[in-house]
Chains A and B, each alone.
Chain A
Amino acid sequence: MRPGDQVAPVQVVARTSRQQGYTIVRADEILGVDAEEVKKYLLVEEGAAVQREKPLLRKSGLFGGTKFTSPVNGILQQVRNGRLILQHTPDLFELRAMMEGTVHSVLLNRGVVIETQGSLIQARWSSGREGHGRIDVAAAEADEALREEHVGMEARGAILVAGRVDRVDVLAKAEENSVRGVVVGSVAGRLVDELPNFRFPILVTDGFAGQPMAAPIFRLLQQSQDREASLFGRMENGRPEIVIPLPASPREETPSPAVQPVEEGQQVRILRAPHAGRVGKIVAVHSRAQTTAVGLRLGGADVALEDGTVVFVPFNNLDLLI
């Protein structure tokens, strides 16, 4: 690939062979000889290919001698200290673009950087894996659970969006019907350990306490119905992401990342009880610490919720929606 190349989600952008492991054969013990003598009995040269059940060592003797066949397919990588180190045949790994875009740059021996224009949603948690497909908002409301009727044959190839998941059997049926991914507001905590077993990524936007999907995220996904989207579920270094590329949209400069100061008018999501998951607007920022309902003194802001109620929320419990 070269910078400027257009890529599609399924397109292979890099290939590599992936090491599959080694088998160590104690040739000196098998032959009953000193380590330095092993090479004399080799039927294959170092660096040459070996085949499973094909002869590898032979030592003649009065009673028929000793024969040893290779336990694996691969390469005789080294002979050292009387041992044969057999490298298993490597696996071919193909790295796919996973999203529509343009190659921005090539990272030697690592991959490529792909640039696209569109929407980016940061989720809270994921089961891992990556996927792409057509967005299908299965639930009518942001608190509606993913149900059996959402995951039928017509869901094939889709990224299903719902308020929450509370049944593993529904996900199993989704897998049977080749669903490409699931995005929900929350997942029941008891299910979490089972989710990485599914072949498609499951992204959670809000949490594990039965929260609905935050209204702005649900609206954005509804507006993206039937668009192609990519799910990136890796969590080791940051949040999982949902990328929804927009075709031929005018290029916009991405603002340089900064820690956003909290200001009046910003849209926020509340992270902790008693208003966890609710979305509102900041109407006042307190310059002095306030006493919370549990008695902690903390800095924070007044947030007007969608029903008009104004509540004080510590800065730590606010998530800015940009």
Chain B
Amino acid sequence: MSEPTAPESKPAPQSGPSPETRPSPGRSFLIADCGATNTTVALFDVVEGEHRLIARASAPTTTTPPWEGIMVGINQAIVRLSEISGRPLLTEDGELISPPEPSGAGVDIFGATISVAPPLQVLIAGLLEDVSVASARRAIQTVYAEEVDTFSMADDRDEQGQVQAILRHRPDIILLTGGTDGGDDSRLRTLAETVEMGVQLLPAGERPHVLFAGNRDMRPAFVSLLGSKTNTDVADNVRPSLDKEMLADAVRIIDKLYQELKIAAVPGIEDVVELSDYPPRATARAFATMIDYFAALYEGRVMGVDLGSGSVTLAMADAEGSKLYVRSNRGVGRALEQVWLEATRVEQLLRWLPYAHAAESVEAFVRDRALHPYSVPTAREELLIEQALVRHILRGVVQEAGESWSWPEGGSVAPPFQRLILRGRALTNTPRPGQTVLMALDALQPTGVFSVAIDRYSVIPALGMLAPHEPLAVVQILEGGALVEMGWVVAPSGRGEPGQNALRVVVESEEQDRLEMNVASGALEVLPLAPGVAARVRLEPERPFDVGAGPGRAREVDVSGGAAGLVIDARGRPLRLPRDDEARRDLVQEWRWALGG
């Protein structure tokens, strides 16, 4: 089966960070990212001939009462940005100054990315659960969406049950799919008739949009059946044949529908649209654009993780294409209550804590935390629980994505990547950089040799919005240090006997003394390598450990230091935590200490 591809445009290969790519007269950009909890505005301008991040500021997102207007929060963040940067951006009446004045006040370009809109409510109506329904599911996973119900041949409801489901859920869209192109369409026709019956029983104006992405031979019948009843769209069949998946066209239309039905309904969005030079974009898609961009830039596979307040986004891109998995109703803000409700075993969360905690006190914390999504931990115990939540939520979403993307071992083992980009305050704003890296390693359980960078300044969505329009500016902003480098990770695959040596690591650099270390199987170690220090690392694994050159085969890689140093994770995959409570807590604490506490 071919890989599903998202319809994101990739930056041109020549847009890499070469010295020749200097901008024409630079324009300034003010980009807002309106999240479920916070709105961040970032100002970019030309400094000494290069585009740079000038400043950023945040304010609460204001789409709920008493404000009910997204511009209130954007303006508040802009006011703070003006205070920080010393650059007037608003008139006395609160209007954005654009184009800029000769005094330097104002900006050239304004844009916004949005993740505060509620998820698209989607009902999937397909035939085979593992074929058309699975492909439809992968298509809707590329936007903020919630699958409210699924009709398939495995569904034991009769026609009336399915009609009642449409009436009860009142989805935003029904994604109708099934059948291979040119195949028998009788079952799909029956399904379409059921959908039509449910749709036409709803009052006009409240009927869902129906997107057809099934057997192309049935398109005329679909249009004739539903075209006069509600808004419809026709996309390429997501499974034109059993062994071929084709999502791009359906994904394009679903993204368009998300824009039309959800982003356009955000309170006050019309003011944002009027002000914007580019149409508002979903934050997840802007994030995915940047992961595509990095993949082109580094000529390798790049993984991106964005842990938000109300959603989690995973993006992966390489030369073959890109994948995007957006999980709504997951996150470290209001979504926490949902996370708790769906946590079948509280032990799954408690296992990440280095101390004994009563399940009841953890539950109280989680529910309390959901009430204050913007708050930050100021007590050690709360920090530990919050970081346990990050691991629990991310691990769950990674496993879902892995299953959807057909990763090996039932979706639990991610394919090796060269660079990992992390985003989201709870994940990246930690007291020590090692805590960020450790949370990512515990949740993703990656293998291979890769660098880690974090979006501490929360600018990736802004860059994703700019990338298609201003690729050179984006390269310069990244060169200017918009991301914070955490360092490199070596995570061999394979699992050895306890006490066995996993690999020998030799670090040579012109800027520091030679380092050499034997890393035991099951160990987690850090070698100091200061930010920006270039080094050549020789990795000599013992069998069965593999660092990308085959079991037991040595490899050399060029790396550079970062805030967390060079991390060697020989704990094996998947991670095995001891069953004994005390032993497990000791081990979790040991890992914390290994990465700096």
Residues of A within 8 A of B (CB): 19, 21-24, 26, 77, 80-81, 83, 85, 124-125, 188-190, 192-193, 207-210, 237-239, 257-259, 271-274, 276, 292-296, 298, 313-314, 316-317
Contact = CB atoms under 8 A, between A and B. Distances in A.
Nearest to B164: A21
Given A125-B371, A188-B364, A209-B364, A80 B197 contact: yes
Interface SS of A by simple majority: loop
Given A85-B201, A257-B66, A272 B193 contact: no
B375 A207 contact: no
Contacts of A210: 364
A81 B365 CA distance: 55
Contacts of B66: 238, 257
A185 to B, nearest CB: 12
B379 A24 contact: no
A17 B224 CA distance: 32
A272 B378 contact: yes
Given A80-B197, A259-B60, A294-B431, A272 B367 contact: no
A296 B429 CA distance: 8
B469 interface: no
B534 interface: no
A77 B432 CA distance: 66
B376 interface: yes
Interface string B547-573: 000000000000000000000000000
A94 B160 CA distance: 29
Contacts, number: 115
Contact of A81 (B76, B160, B193, B383): B193
Nearest to B198: A22
B376 A316 contact: yes
Interface in B369-395: 371-372, 374-383
27 contacts: A22-B163, A22-B164, A22-B167, A24-B159, A77-B201, A85-B201, A124-B371, A188-B360, A192-B367, A207-B368, A207-B371, A208-B364, A238-B65, A238-B66, A257-B66, A257-B72, A259-B60, A259-B67, A259-B72, A271-B375, A272-B379, A292-B376, A293-B379, A296-B377, A296-B431, A313-B378, A317-B376
B237 interface: no
A294 B73 contact: no
Interface string B269-291: 00000000000000000000000
Interface in B152-209: 159-160, 163-164, 167, 193, 197, 201
B299 interface: no
Per CB-CB distance, the 6 closest pairs between chain A and chain B, nearest first, are A295-B431, A189-B364, A273-B379, A238-B65, A257-B66, A189-B363
Contacts of B376: 272, 292, 296, 298, 314, 316-317
B378 A24 contact: no
A197 to B, nearest CB: 15
B322 interface: no
Contacts of A193: 341
Nearest to A260: B76
B378 A293 contact: yes
B375 A272 contact: yes
Interface of B: 59-60, 62, 64-67, 72-73, 76, 159-160, 163-164, 167, 193, 197, 201, 341, 360-361, 363-368, 371-372, 374-383, 429-432
Given A24-B163, A259-B67, 15 more contacts: A81-B193, A124-B371, A188-B360, A189-B368, A193-B341, A258-B76, A259-B60, A259-B73, A271-B372, A272-B376, A292-B378, A293-B380, A294-B378, A294-B431, A316-B376
Secondary structure call for the B interface? helix
Contacts of B64: 237-238
A207 B371 CA distance: 7
Nearest to A125: B371
B379 A274 contact: yes
Given A80-B197, A272-B378, A209 B368 contact: yes
B197 A85 contact: yes
Given A207-B371, A257-B72, A316-B375, A295 B432 contact: yes
Given A24-B197, A272-B372, A273-B382, A294 B377 contact: yes
Nearest to B67: A257
A125 B432 CA distance: 33
Nearest to B75: A259
A151 to B, nearest CB: 24
B132 to A, nearest CB: 23
Most buried by B among A272, A293, A314, A317: A272
Nearest to A296: B431
B197 A314 contact: no
Contacts of A258: 67, 72, 76
Nearest to A210: B364
Nearest to A298: B376
A19 B372 CA distance: 37
A22 B201 contact: yes
Contact of B378 (A207, A237, A239, A317): A317
Contacts of A239: 65
A189 B378 contact: no
Contacts of A237: 64-65
Contacts of A298: 376
Nearest to A25: B160
A304 to B, nearest CB: 17
A83 to B, nearest CB: 8
Contacts of B65: 237-239
B252 to A, nearest CB: 30
A269 to B, nearest CB: 10
Contacts of B363: 189-190, 208
